[in-house]
Amino acid sequence: MSALIYYITLPFIYLISVLPFRVLYLFSDVIYLVLYKGFGYRKAVVLQNLHNAFPEKTEKEIGTICDAFYHNLCDFMVEAFKILTISKEGILKRCRMTLECKSVFDKFADENKSVIMVMGHLGNWEWAGHPFRLQCRQQLDVLYHPLSNKYFNGLMYRMRSRFGTRMMPMRTAYKEMLAHRNELTATVFISDQTPMPEAAYWTTFLNQDTPIFKGTEVIAKKMNLPVVYCSITKVKRGYYEMHAEVLVTAPVTTAEGEISEMHTRRLEKDIVAMPASWLWSHRRWKYKRLVSEKKREVIT
């Protein structure tokens, strides 16, 4: 059945991909009306997340962010499929690395240092890797969770690796990074995943107890790789900029939890500045903080 759904859906996906951008965004507007105004896709989750994250905002302000979020979400969906057919020139025109951003990675490349890139589900994270791979000397490695449907997983793999990005399943990330440790690489970790509570680093994020994926910090310290925070800001519809900020150059010198706090606080700052650009439709706060974790924090 999964194969049948895939092969029925695939022609429509490619049809979306070849649409001119002007028509593509008209289609996105239609999806917005159906998804948000019609079915109210995960609207209760989005509104609850927004209320919890921004208790100081009025109902009108929350509603404005919610509406803008769904517009961005629908744009993101159609833009993601555009990767299947967009040219190199097209992606470089629409998702640009700032000069300051590129200089960060050029400096590490000049020093022959691999890096860890940490980012969140902010802006168009699916586009971000392609201009990096086309313009920087580092081999870009992106960690991901394979989809359960092998056909759609293969499609996502092709989309993400089209310009040479190497995809690494999360479960084998450290092993693969070790295997490529003699190469000049930049490995992308998405920081706002939802880890199991007992294996997470807990902190306050957007006014809520939040479990943070510890893999970024653990692997950075094990391999002593510099950690660079990256953000994707929306300039206007269909155009994005990539920014970079070095968080730490020698992770082995940091205290436990320090790197996790660094990238979490940096992501939080960006979300507060451009709230509609973050992925609010996921249930990120479905786990509760363990009593033992709270006690440990008080003791330390």
Give the per-residue SS3 of 269-293: HHHHHCHHHECCCCCCCCCCCCHHH
- Give the Cβ contact number of residue 37 at 10 Å: 11
pLDDT at 169: 95
pLDDT at 230: 98
N- to C-terminal Cα separation, the chain = 53
Here the tokens at position 241 are 């900029």
Q: Which residue type occupies 110?
A: D
φ, ψ for residue 57 (rounded to 5)?
Answer: -85, 150
**Calpha distance 122→279 (Å, rounded):** 7
pLDDT at 299: 40
Report CA 93 to chain centroid distance, whole Å: 20
pLDDT at 295: 47
Residue 89 burial (C-beta neighbours within 10 Å; 0-12, 13-18, 19+): exposed
| C-alpha closest to that of 29 among 73, 86, 71 | 71
Residue 167 burial (C-beta neighbours within 10 Å; 0-12, 13-18, 19+): middle
Angle at 166 between CA 164 and CA 169, to 5 degrees: 155
**Calpha distance 68→140 (Å, rounded):** 31
pLDDT at 185: 98
Here the tokens at position 121 are 């589900």
Q: Mean pLDDT for each 10-residue chunk of the chain (300 residues)?
A: 90 96 98 97 97 98 98 98 97 97 98 98 96 98 94 95 96 96 97 88 96 95 98 97 98 97 98 98 88 49
Residues with Cβ < 8 Å from 87, sequence gap 6 or more? none
| C-alpha closest to that of 174 among 230, 238, 217 | 217
Q: Which residue type occupies 247?
A: L
**Calpha distance 250→266 (Å, rounded):** 18
Answer yes or no: are the C-beta atoms of 131 and 96 closer than 8 Å: yes
| C-alpha closest to that of 296 among 196, 200, 205 | 200
pTM attached to this predicted model:
0.93
pLDDT at 298: 43
Bridge partners, 297 (sequence order)? none
Strands in the chain per DSSP E: 95-97, 115-119, 139-144, 166-169, 185-190, 201-205, 208-212, 227-236, 239-248
pLDDT at 252: 97
Bridge partners, 204 (sequence order)? 209
